[in-house]
Amino acid sequence: MEADLTKNGKVIAYQRLKELLDKATAMGLDMKQGANRTEWQSNVESALERLFSPDSRHIKSFKGVSYLPMMFSGSTPQSDFDRVFLSGLNHACGILRAAMKEFEDYELAAAKASVFPIPSPPAAGGLQNPKVFVVHGHDHALKADVEVFLKNIGLDPIVLHRQADKGQTIIEKFLEHSDVGYAFILLTPDDIAYGSEQANVADRSRKKEFRARQNVIFEFGFFVGRIGRERVCCIYKEGVVLPSDLNGLIYKKVTDSIDSQALSIARDLRAAGYKVTL
């Protein structure tokens, strides 16, 4: 996967921008030399264009940085030139950091997701890859029960915290392991919430709701969009609020064990093309 990732032009441009930022930080006043600064500026502008667009506000801001005093004469001391140059260089580096942060927040996840192919529907008669993803909250007993059940019927449940970190961020790790053909979402009453209009109401009078963890809801929507709602099985416990935007999905209610839904889940998996053994 990492080799595929490096083929993405935006990710390469992002890495290049990071290298150029490190270079400016390390060189400092050495960047004053005309050739060094001109080459550096040209490389930064090229990377920013690939990362965003030729007319992005980041490029306009970067090109507007001044490295010389507004007014100077033959008697202007060298220290003033150095001070103004370093101030301009720091300003330019700040623009780069802001651009990189924006890319990290809004585009890096999408750029990486684009190189993780959505799995094809499984062929009739069974799937060669038995991996299925398990999204869970704080109900570790239910999570363990689902894992054991899936292993017993011949599948390989992927639980994110059991996978190696490899120095990745959470979203990077999640994207790497989301290349599955089926997902199980465990909605359990882990959080208590109430509407903001009740913030000033006495605690015991507030209308409270039991909700699943936010990461569970995010990953729920991710898999519905990625592999289709017919390939997502939502298992929930009584009392938890079900997402209104996903009404129409089949939710499977459990109490303490997955046993009551075992046959139903097995039928759904077989219909999705998985070869399961009870």
**Pair 58, 159 in one domain:** no
**Pair 103, 136 in one domain:** no
Domain ends where: 79, 113, 147?
113
Give tens-digit pLDDT for 144-159: 999 999 999 999 999 9
Pairwise pLDDT comparison (107 vs 133), residue with the higher score: 133
User: Residue 220 sits in a domain of what CATH number?
Assistant: 3.40.50
**Pair 65, 174 in one domain:** no
Cβ atoms within 10 Å, residue 217:
19
| Phi, psi angles (nearest 5°) of residue 72 | -150, 160
**Pair 36, 150 in one domain:** no
**Pair 241, 190 in one domain:** yes
Burial class, 71, CB count within 10 angstroms (exposed 0-12 / middle 13-18 / buried 19+): exposed
Question: Which region among 22-26, 145-149, 181-185, 223-227 has the lowest average model confidence (pLDDT)?
Answer: 22-26
Percent of the chain with pLDDT strictly greater than 70: 79
**Pair 91, 51 in one domain:** yes
Total count of domains within the chain: 2
Mean pLDDT confidence for 229-242 = 90
213 is a domain residue: yes
41 is a domain residue: yes
47 is a domain residue: yes
120 is a domain residue: no
Given this model, what pLDDT does residue 150 score? 94
**Pair 175, 216 in one domain:** yes
Helix, coil or strand: residue 134: strand
Mean pLDDT confidence for 253-269 = 90
**Separation between Cα atoms, residue 84 and residue 51, nearest integer Å:** 29
125 is a domain residue: no
From first CA to last CA, the distance across the chain in angstroms is 34
126 is a domain residue: no
**Pair 136, 73 in one domain:** no
Given this model, what pLDDT does residue 7 score? 43
Given this model, what pLDDT does residue 1 score? 38
For 65, the domain range is: 2-113
215 is a domain residue: yes
Give tens-digit pLDDT for 93-124: 899 888 888 887 766 555 555 545 555 555 54
53 is a domain residue: yes
Given this model, what pLDDT does residue 160 score? 93
